[in-house]
Homo-oligomer: A and B are copies of this chain.
Amino acid sequence: MTDSTSPAPNDSNTSVAELKKLVDDFVGQRDWHQFHSPKNLAMALAVEAAELMEHFQWIEVADSREVANHPEKLAAAAEEIADVLSYTLAIANSLGVDLSETIHAKMVKNAQKYPADSFRGRHGGE
């Protein structure tokens, strides 16, 4: 995919479209698009989100921040985050959703729902 002179991929030099293609190629090479309906992918995404959560389920909120300083635990959590992202990209692929456009639009909506001045320091959720 990259020749020896390409820089290694990182978040600054990689577009969302490149990650979508990475996932789509993987799926296509295995003829897995037949399983990749939005229904099945939404389930798979929720399963991966739960696997990520499992790393934090019995620990205190403050201790979960410490995972960033523990290379082995961090690598394990990062891998689950990658799995969540893979299925997020796959479901966007399956429905033809432009993620960057959608997230920008959603952030505008969120900013109206949670104006910075009235929600500063107050969480918005239930």
List chain A positions with a Cβ less than 8 A from chain B. 8-20, 22-23, 26, 29-32, 34-35, 37-40, 42-47, 49-62, 64-65, 67-68, 74, 77-79, 81-86, 88, 91-92, 94-107, 110-111, 114, 116, 119-121, 123-126
Contact = CB atoms under 8 A, between A and B. Distances in A.
Given A26-B111, A30-B119, A74 B95 contact: yes
Copies of this chain assembled into the complex = 4
Nearest to A64: B39
8 contacts: A30-B116, A42-B64, A47-B54, A65-B94, A67-B95, A68-B96, A81-B97, A85-B85
A73 to B, nearest CB: 10
Contact of A40 (B10, B61, B116, B120): B61
